[in-house]
């Protein structure tokens, strides 16, 4: 359920936030709505700058981060919280979130070359190297590995396959080419 507490899917030693109340009450819906109370973009450098693993490192650090707004009061985009439902999927399905995402969504949508793994993408024969622009005009390869927070949007995909996602969204039924991906109620949610 969208309203299941995230604590249901993690061991108490892995999942503890800044307050016991929030730890016990934050739901999948709260994570997707960015209303945990943690600051926007808080601690993105943990994964973006140091490429630390999520469960074994990043999640353990969240217990030390205090909220800057009241729980459920404000939208504040936070990759680290948005990632939690993806990792919760592992405890329900027995698959890694990458495996589940790729088999239950990407492949069913005909996205056969799309991947949620940076290393798979970079090792494919047909990929581009991402770059970023420094303020002095220098272009440098973008070497941040987004896999630790992949459930927050780590997807490597061609424009051609992205159209499949758009067709699925526009159709609005939860089906793609006659294959049920989601119940209509889940799709609408």
Q: Provide the pLDDT for residue 47.
A: 65
Query: What span, in angstroms and rounded, lies between the C-alpha atoms of 24 and 185?
Result: 26
**According to the model, what pLDDT value does residue 43 have?**
66
Residue 46 is predicted with a pLDDT of: 65
pLDDT for 32 equals 94
Can you give the pTM of this predicted structure? Answer: 0.84
d(CA 156, CA 158) in angstroms, rounded, equals 7
Place of tokens 């109620």: 185
Residues of the chain with pLDDT under 50: none
Q: What is the secondary structure of 16-78 as a DSSP string?
A: --SSHHHHHH-BHHHHHTT-SSSPTTTTHHHHHTT---IIIIIHHHGGGPPPSS-TTT-----
pLDDT value at residue 48: 64
CA 137, 135, 148, 5 torsion: positive or negative?
A: negative
Q: What torsion do the CA atoms of 11, 13, 19, 21 make, to the nearest 10 degrees?
A: 30
Phi and psi at 159, nearest 5°, equal: -60, -40
> What does the pLDDT read at residue 49?
61
Strands 179-180 and 175-176: antiparallel
Phi-psi region at 134: left, alpha or beta (left = phi > 0; alpha = psi -120 to 50): beta
In this prediction, what percent of the chain has a pLDDT beyond 90?
Answer: 51
């Amino acid at each position: 359920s969208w309203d299941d507490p995230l604590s249901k899917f993690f061991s108490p030693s892995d999942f503890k936030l800044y307050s016991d109340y929030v730890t016990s009450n934050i739901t999948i819906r709260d994570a997707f709505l960015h209303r945990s109370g943690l600051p926007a973009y808080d601690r993105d450098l943990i994964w973006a700058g140091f490429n630390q693993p999520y469960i074994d490192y990043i999640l353990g650090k969240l217990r030390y981060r205090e909220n800057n707004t009241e729980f459920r009061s404000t939208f504040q985009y936070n990759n680290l919280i948005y990632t939690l439902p993806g990792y919760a999927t592992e405890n329900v399905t027995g698959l890694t979130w990458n495996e589940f995402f790729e088999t239950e969504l990407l492949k069913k949508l005909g996205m056969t070359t799309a991947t949620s793994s940076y290393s798979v993408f970079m090792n494919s024969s047909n990929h581009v190297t991402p770059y970023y622009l420094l303020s002095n005009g220098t272009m440098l390869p973008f070497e941040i590995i987004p896999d630790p927070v992949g459930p927050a949007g780590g997807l490597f995909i061609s424009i051609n396959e992205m159209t499949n996602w758009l067709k699925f969204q526009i159709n609005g039924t939860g089906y793609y080419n006659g294959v049920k991906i989601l119940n209509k109620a889940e799709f609408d949610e």
